[in-house]
Structure formats: structure tokens, C-alpha cells
Amino acid sequence: MPELPEVETICRGLAPSIVQQKIITITIYNNKLRYPIPKNISKSLAKQTIQKIYRRGKYILLTTKKGTLIIHLGMSGTLQIKPKNHPSGKHEHFILTFANDLSLRYKDPRRFGAILWTNKDPLKHPLLKKLGIEPLDNNFTANYLYDRAKSKHCAVKQFIMNNEVVTGIGNIYANEVLFAAKINPLTAANTITLHRYQILAKEIKKILRSAIKHRGTTIQDHTDSHGKQGSFQNKLKIYGKFDENCCRCQTKLTHIKLGQRTTFFCLFCQNN
Ligand code: ZN
């Protein structure tokens, strides 16, 4: 599942092909995604020009004069740029073609993603308005985490993966940032000191920025809009390291299931 760095990479990759481009055709092959694609979407998007593409949490927003197309990639969604006449492939459910003869294709084998439309402020859309702060925003600080954690008895890993607290941190980056900050993922969020949240907030920003620089983490077949893979998987220090030793202290790494997500940690480095 793409997380913040992967979604940011997708937005940056798509922009040169679609921004300032007029939509010529809208084709829906299958509207049965997590939420049905709205019936009026073709009418709303017809002849519109994409003004801007940006991200809020893991939602991709395409702005037009009339409103905003909201895309979520779910578990297995991808957005690809292909020549407009390229034959449509399996699982390509939604295709836009543009005046520059390119097409934007939403492909999603598992169909947990979403394609929605709003002609109001997209940030106030029911799916977006509850989203927490952006971790790369200046207002995301140790104090913010510390204050929000006061009433949270859950494990710190689940706390930082809660999109209503902070958006875009999924399982891969939650494992990485807690390892970097030397915090045990199981520690109750409300028992962590402000000082340790200072280290964590710093590591979150550092690791997410580095992952964006490396165009995200490519696991299985995730590629960006031009089929290119990211390289942050080569920088991962703990995620996916079954039966490996800690790169800091050589202790054998531990992995458990926490909230159905595989959680990796070093019992020596992350002992509280
Ligand atoms: Zn260690």
C-alpha cells in the first residue's frame, strides 16, 4: 500500500504530463471501487483542464476550474501515463485522455481504491476533513505529538499510523521511524516523554524526506506513473527484515503482529 512518499512521488511524476492539459475523453470500465465512481463524473470532468495536482495524506487531488477529482489508490491502485491509443489493460477501470495525446490510467486489481468528485473545497470532503496534520508541515512538532498522545493508551506505532493524528505514515515508515528513534513500537503513546517525541518527530521528517528523494519504496510491483521504481527499499533498516540482525547492535530482530500489521523491532535498541 503506498504511503506518503510514494503518493508524493506519483503526484510529482504525473504533473508534467497532465497539468495544464485539457481532458478530451473520460472512460469508466468499472465503477465498482471502494465507493462507486460518481455517475456524473464524466459530465463534471468534460473539457476541463487540470490546473494542479497535489496530495493530502494519501489522497491525490486533481484540480479543475469546476471542481476536484479525488483519487485514493487503496491497496493495489496505480496511476499510469500511456499514449492515448494504447490498448486498455486488465484492471484499468478509469481512463482520462488529454489534448497532448497522453492518457492517465487508473488500474486497481483489488478495487479498494476510490475515484470521487467534489465541486466544493476538497479538504472539507467527508473523507478528507478528518485527516490529521501533514508530517512535513511546520506545525507537525514534538509538542503536537505529545499533546495528541495524552489521551492515547494505544501502542505508539498505532498512534503514528492513525491518519486522524498524522497522515500518510503506514506500516513501512512507522517501523522505520520508531527504529531510528529507538522507541519500542508497543510502548503506550501516552507514556512517551516530550524529549523522545522530539527525536521521533525529527526522524519522521528526515525519513519521509529521504524516501521522497529516493522516489519511495518499491515493494512487489509498485511503480510510479512512468513505470519507474523507487529505491528507498535499499535504505530500509528494519521493515521486512525477517531473520536478520540489527544493523546497529547485531541482536537478532523481532517481529510480531500488531493490529494485523507486521511489526519489526530490535529488543536491545528499542527496549522501551
Ligand atoms: Zn539493535
Are 145 and 187 in contact by the 8 Å Cβ rule? The answer is: no
Whether residue 247 is contained in a domain is answered as: yes
CA 207 to chain centroid: 14
My answer on whether 65 and 106 are in the same domain is yes
Q: Which of 55, 58, 148, 152 is catalytic?
A: 58
153: CA distance to ligand 1 center in Å? 25
> What CATH number does the domain containing 151 carry?
1.10.8.50
pLDDT tens, position by position, 4-27: 999 999 999 999 999 999 999 999
My answer on whether 106 and 174 are in the same domain is no
Domain containing 92 equals 4-124
Q: How many structural domains does the chain have?
A: 2
Name residue 148's amino acid: R
Per-residue burial over 172-186, b = 16 or more CB atoms within 10 Å of its CB, e = otherwise: bbbbbbbbbbbbbbb
Whether residue 16 is contained in a domain is answered as: yes
Q: Which of 124, 150, 178 is the last residue of a domain?
A: 124
φ/ψ of 24, rounded to 5, equals -100, -50
My answer on whether 153 and 104 are in the same domain is no
Query: Is 58 annotated as catalytic?
Result: yes
> Is the model's pTM score more than 0.85?
yes
Whether residue 238 is contained in a domain is answered as: yes
My answer on whether 203 and 102 are in the same domain is no
My answer on whether 115 and 146 are in the same domain is no
What pLDDT score was predicted for residue 229? 84
Q: Which of 2, 5, 122, 135 is catalytic?
A: 2
Whether residue 223 is contained in a domain is answered as: yes
Residue ranges for the chain with pLDDT beneath 50 = none
